[in-house]
Amino acid sequence: MATETMTPASEEEAAGIVREAAAKGTTLEIAGGATKRGIGQPFSAARVLSTAGLSGITQYDPAELVLTARAGTPIAEIEAALAENNQMLAFEPGDWRGLFGANGVPAIGALASANISGPRRFVAGAARDALLGVRFVNGSGEIIKNGGRVMKNVTGLDLVKLLAGSWGTFGLLTEVSFKVLPRAETETTLVIHSQHEDEAANLMAAAMGTSAEVSGAAHLPESVAGRSGIDGGSATVLRLEGFSESVAARLGRLKAALPGVANASELDETASKSLWIAIRDVKPFAGGMKPLWKISVAPMAGHDVAAMILREVRGEAFYDWQGGLVWLQLDNEGDASAGIVRSAVAKCGGGHATLIRAAEDIRAATPVFQPQAAPVAALAERVRAALDPAGIFNPGRMVWNGSRKAA
Amino acid sequence: MNQIRFLDPRPDIVARRDEIRAGLAELVPADCLVTDERELVPFETDAFTAYRRVPLAVVLPETTEQVAAVMKYCSANGVPVIPRGAGTSLAGGAIPQEDAVVIGVSKMSRILEIDFENRTARVQAGVTNLRISDEVSADGFFYAPDPSSQLACTIAGNIGMNSGGAHCLKYGVTTNNLLGVKMVLHDGTVIDLGGKALDAEGYDLLGLVCGSEGQLGIITEAVVRLIAKPEGARPVLFGFDSSEVAGACVADIIGEGIIPVAIEFMDKPAIDICEAFAHAGYPMDVEALLIVEVEGSDDEMDAMLKKIIAIARKHDVKRVKESQSAMEAATIWKGRKSAFGATGRVADYICMDGTVPLGQLSHVLRETSNIVEKYGLRVANVFHAGDGNMHPLILYNVNDPEEAEKAEAAGAEILKLCVDAGGCLTGEHGVGIEKRDLMLHQFTETDLNQQLRVRAAFDPAWLLNPSKVFPLDLEMRKAN
């Protein structure tokens, strides 16, 4: 692990540090609040390059629905500024500190780099969809601008999408512009208790086929539901947001369209908010070091994937994004069972699985990110090299077993 | 008129024309290859008709395998390739050149799978945009991006240009509705990116490919997101005494936390042209018109419209007209969607596509009229106000070379104005050849070189749509 931390106070200074590293052939670990440091393949770098000194909202006019901030700006500061104007980041980013026992200050740049999105993602888009523009320092120490502050933009190659979800292996983000949206006036959640996960999948699919504009669709098995404040057994939860009269009208439509909702209950705004925060932050699986998988599949395949895995290894799962996102925690801290997990994904129609949390030695022995078909992996490596030719940034974080040289 | 330059045709390729045509004939069935000079003519341009180049050959493959075989052949022989959807590009994105083979996806037009439970459609890339919505409409779904050319344009072209439309204020543009592609790389390698699962498994190559204007590969299949149709939709017309006031009203609607599905803006010249064409019942005694569309049940729409009308009243709205029937709603949209065609009936025009931050709308509108007036021309403004995507139509006479040159110069000034106001050169039409030489106004050479290095990771020999997007005189390009 790196020892010395560099905290540049300006983009230009950051670029100088990168140029120096490039000239000397050394490496840098990029850190915002360092709260997601435990994600990815373990790697080492000569020095830490922190964005903590690049902080502050640089441009925000609520009527424009865009907020620009330096990469090290605490997310809390951004959410406070948005809340003051009744706005929000619509992709509903989770706070994953609980998963890792981290106590740093999560920064907006890291959120972009990790492309973290919450329950509303399956209808409102991901962090990468809201990210309109970036400034970053590439591996040669050049300052690059891409995208902008407008919602429609097809001017040149969209490097913004590439930077989102690159976990700091392409460059150092120095400034990000996010699309923001008005907060809903109110929300409610319909709670439907059902026993079978395939019934739950059908129920969620039916809900998404209505015009009720469901903005959260999750299924919590009994143990998880209990830990999320929902009593009465396993629960399928459907969220509606908007102006109060509209929410009421859509709730009526939703209930009329779904079978077996006679015994359903509704959560008021406060209870609804707290439930979706728990789902967003993966609170049911907070604490400890049990292996935690984030599995992305077609919505109807989620419960089949989990069932197939849990027939072979002990653990528990819950489902967000209409079933398309499976959070799966395994009981045995010493085994991530990557083979079992990924073979289940492949057998159920494909998708991908990321080992979000596991002890360092487990991650070192496991492909953390989904292994890709050879031509795609080769292409991805060529793209990476086009941004960071010498492999300065977070070397090896996204690639297993040093198919890429660590410094 | 200042001619936009193309790369010089490679003489060695042109000289080998017959050999290359024969080589292609071995790869695809005879009815998939066009080499007859007369039959090549329809492929010499797209909707940016001022420029024409007859290609060396046109291939219209029926399968991904055929595309792969042709790409591999072209790569091995150093032949440039121009991907083509329906040829509706307004930016010249599909205009070929004399040494190039056009690969058109029009024969790959099957819908492969509709999956309502997972809300996805898998289609061949030559499917037209509107066909997807038509196919799923009876089951209560639709595909959201709706460019004006949606009757003709293909999904392949939509992906190439990251197409938008009137309703993307709420539903996003192509990149937000695209889940996966099958794609053929320059050397014939076939890759799959994404699928029915959300988010990328590694680097977001799908996000990079969308909007890359055919420079990274050829898309042969796509998985797109389907959305449940709203209960109902209702457009309302608001007429104002000035464009500035209409612009301020838009800002207030959004500032109040209301995101309608669409907010379309027309100024007086556009109203006159569209009304004469579509008889949509647009008010004729106003200087600016907003079409605001809301969705939901009748009660929901009533409630939402009440809020919007209250805001408009604060801005002294002069006319408010709610559509009373589905037919009336359709007519209102017909007027808007036929704006380009209707304008074409009264004059020649060039259509700009700059996008600006919402706060800059009034300023940019004012400066746009100043610029156009300076050149002694007329302009009609019709655009997506909710997302800042401007479409000034600069009217001129195509048979008057002097006027044509003025129109082009005015257009360039307007686009620079958009960039200087914090916006971009193109919101949904793409750079193509049209805006290529303005790229250095928005980006530094360092910015563009970074894009070129990423491009080279896909197409090292610069064979895919080579004359497009990046200025020809960049040092890095010349080195190639």
Domain spans of chain A?
1-183+371-407, 186-280, 283-364
Chain A CB contacts of B192 below 8 Å: 373, 376
Of A41-45, A86-90, B340-344, minimum mean pLDDT range: B340-344
- Position A146 scores a pLDDT of 97
Q: Does B276 touch chain A (CB under 8 A)?
A: no
Q: Do B453 and A62 touch (CB under 8 A)?
A: no
Q: Please, what is the angle between helix B64-77 and helix B17-25, to 10°?
A: 150
Is the same domain home to B253 and B311? yes
Is the same domain home to B224 and B115? yes
Question: Which domain range does residue B237 map to?
Answer: 233-339
pLDDT digit string, tens, across residues B128-163: 999 999 999 999 999 999 998 899 999 999 999 999
Chain A CB contacts of B175 below 8 Å: 129, 158, 161
What sign has the CA pseudo-torsion A364, A368, A373, A378?
Answer: negative
- Position A33 scores a pLDDT of 85
| CATH number attached to the domain at A186-280 | 3.30.70.2190
Is the same domain home to B335 and B376? no
User: For the domain that residue B354 is a member of, what is the CATH number?
Assistant: 3.30.70.2740
What sign has the CA pseudo-torsion A313, A319, A323, A324?
Answer: negative
Is the same domain home to B33 and B90? yes
Measured CA to CA, the distance from residue B139 to residue B116 in angstroms comes to 8
- Position B480 scores a pLDDT of 64
- Position A328 scores a pLDDT of 98
**B198 within some domain:** yes
CA distance A367 to chain B (A): 12
**B5 within some domain:** no
Is the same domain home to B334 and B355? no
Q: Are the C-beta atoms of residues B47 and B88 closer than 8 Å to each other? A: yes
**B182 within some domain:** yes
pLDDT digit string, tens, across residues A294-316: 999 999 999 999 999 999 999 99
Query: Judged by CB atoms within 8 Å, which residues 429-458 of B form the interface with A?
Result: 429-431, 435, 439, 442-444, 446-448, 450-451, 453-458
- Position B387 scores a pLDDT of 87
Buried b (16+ CB within 10 A) or exposed e, B425-441: bbbbbbbbbbbbbbbee
Amino acid making up residue A84: E
Which residue, B104, B120, B146, sits at the end of a domain?
Answer: B104
- For B207, the closest of A66, A158, A209 (CB atoms) is A158
User: For the domain that residue B281 is a member of, what is the CATH number?
Assistant: 3.30.70.3450
The class that CATH gives domain A1-183+371-407 is: alpha beta
**Does residue A404 register a pLDDT over 60?**
no
Reading the block at residue A111, the tokens are: 């959120």
Is the same domain home to B83 and B119? no
Q: Are the C-beta atoms of residues A399 and A40 closer than 8 Å to each other? A: no
How many C-beta atoms surround the C-beta of residue B104 within 10 A?
24
- B311 phi, psi to nearest 5 deg: -65, -45
CA distance B313 to chain A (A): 19
Collapsed DSSP state (helix, strand, coil) of residue B128: strand
The class that CATH gives domain A283-364 is: alpha beta
Q: Are the C-beta atoms of residues B144 and B177 closer than 8 Å to each other? A: yes
Is the same domain home to B35 and B85? yes
pLDDT in tens, chain B (480 residues): 468 999 999 999 999 999 999 999 999 999 999 999 999 999 999 998 889 999 999 999 999 999 999 999 999 999 999 999 999 999 999 999 999 999 999 999 999 999 999 999 999 999 999 999 999 999 999 999 999 889 999 999 999 999 998 888 889 999 999 999 999 999 999 999 999 999 999 999 999 999 999 999 999 999 999 999 998 899 999 999 998 899 889 988 988 888 899 999 999 999 999 999 989 889 999 999 999 999 988 888 988 999 999 999 999 999 999 888 888 888 888 888 888 889 988 899 989 999 999 889 889 999 999 999 999 999 999 988 888 999 999 999 989 999 999 999 999 999 999 999 999 999 999 999 999 999 999 999 999 999 999 999 999 999 999 999 999 999 888 776
Is the same domain home to B212 and B319? no
Q: Where are the beta strands (DSSP E) in B185-283?
A: 190-194, 218-225, 227-228, 233-240, 262-267
Collapsed DSSP state (helix, strand, coil) of residue A66: strand
Is the same domain home to B325 and B353? no
- Position A124 scores a pLDDT of 96
- Position A403 scores a pLDDT of 40
Which residue, B212, B228, B244, sits at the end of a domain?
Answer: B228
Share of chain A above pLDDT 70, in %: 98
Chain A CB contacts of B470 below 8 Å: 156
User: For the domain that residue B79 is a member of, what is the CATH number?
Assistant: 3.30.43.10
Q: Are the C-beta atoms of residues A54 and A174 closer than 8 Å to each other? A: yes
Pick the more confident residue, A170 or B3. Answer: A170
- Position B339 scores a pLDDT of 87
Chain B CB contacts of A126 below 8 Å: 198-199
**B115 within some domain:** yes
**Does residue A232 register a pLDDT over 50?**
yes
Q: Does B426 touch chain A (CB under 8 A)?
A: yes
Kindly give the pairing relationship between strand B178-184 and strand B190-194: antiparallel
Structurally, chain B folds into a number of domains equal to 5
Chain A CB contacts of B195 below 8 Å: 298, 350-351
DSSP state of B7: P
Amino acid making up residue B405: E
**Does residue A407 register a pLDDT over 60?**
no
**B396 within some domain:** yes
Chain A CB contacts of B187 below 8 Å: none
Q: How confident is the model at residue A129 (pLDDT cuts 50, 70, 90)?
A: very high
Residue B304 CA neighbour count, 13 Å, CB half: 29
List, in sequence order, every residue forming a beta bridge with A70; answer none if it has no partner.
Answer: A175
Chain B CB contacts of A383 below 8 Å: 203, 205, 208, 454, 457
Q: Do B450 and A156 touch (CB under 8 A)?
A: no
Q: Does B117 touch chain A (CB under 8 A)?
A: yes
- B33 phi, psi to nearest 5 deg: -125, 130
Q: Do A150 and B442 touch (CB under 8 A)?
A: no
DSSP state of A183: P
Reading the block at residue B459, the tokens are: 């197409």
**Does residue A246 register a pLDDT over 60?**
yes
Is the same domain home to B219 and B240? no
- Position A402 scores a pLDDT of 46
List, in sequence order, every residue forming a beta bridge with A68; answer none if it has no partner.
Answer: A59, A177
Task: Name the nearest CA neighbour of A174 among A15, A285, A373.
Answer: A15
- Position B2 scores a pLDDT of 65
How many C-beta atoms surround the C-beta of residue B37 within 10 A?
8
The kind and range of the H/E element at B326 are helix B326-337
How many C-beta atoms surround the C-beta of residue A380 within 10 A?
22
- For B162, the closest of A154, A377, A385 (CB atoms) is A154
- Position A406 scores a pLDDT of 36
- For A375, the closest of B175, B191, B358 (CB atoms) is B191
Measured CA to CA, the distance from residue B117 to residue B97 in angstroms comes to 45
Answer yes or no: same fold for A186-280 and A283-364. Answer: yes
If you average pLDDT over residues A117-141, what whole number do you get? 98
Q: Do A211 and B458 touch (CB under 8 A)?
A: no
Q: Are the C-beta atoms of residues A48 and A61 closer than 8 Å to each other? A: no
**B313 within some domain:** yes
Is the same domain home to B300 and B374? no
**B480 within some domain:** no
Residue A56 CA neighbour count, 13 Å, CB half: 7
Q: Do A125 and B192 touch (CB under 8 A)?
A: no
Chain B CB contacts of A380 below 8 Å: 202-203, 205
**Does residue A287 register a pLDDT over 80?**
yes
Residue B140, by phi and psi: left (phi above 0), alpha (psi -120 to 50) or beta?
Answer: left
**B449 within some domain:** yes
Measured CA to CA, the distance from residue A194 to residue A219 in angstroms comes to 9
CA distance A382 to chain B (A): 5
pLDDT digit string, tens, across residues B247-298: 889 988 988 888 899 999 999 999 999 999 989 889 999 999 999 999 988 8
Measured CA to CA, the distance from residue B143 to residue B171 in angstroms comes to 10
Minimum Cα–Cα distance from A169: chain B residue: B203
DSSP state of B464: B
Measured CA to CA, the distance from residue B139 to residue A273 in angstroms comes to 32
User: For the domain that residue B115 is a member of, what is the CATH number?
Assistant: 3.30.465.10
Chain B CB contacts of A186 below 8 Å: none
What sign has the CA pseudo-torsion B122, B128, B134, B135?
Answer: negative
**Does residue A54 register a pLDDT over 80?**
yes
Is the same domain home to B42 and B115? no
- For A245, the closest of B254, B300, B431 (CB atoms) is B300
- For A152, the closest of B115, B428, B444 (CB atoms) is B428
- Position B84 scores a pLDDT of 97
Which residue, B70, B104, B138, sits at the end of a domain?
Answer: B104
If you average pLDDT over residues A157-169, what whole number do you get? 97
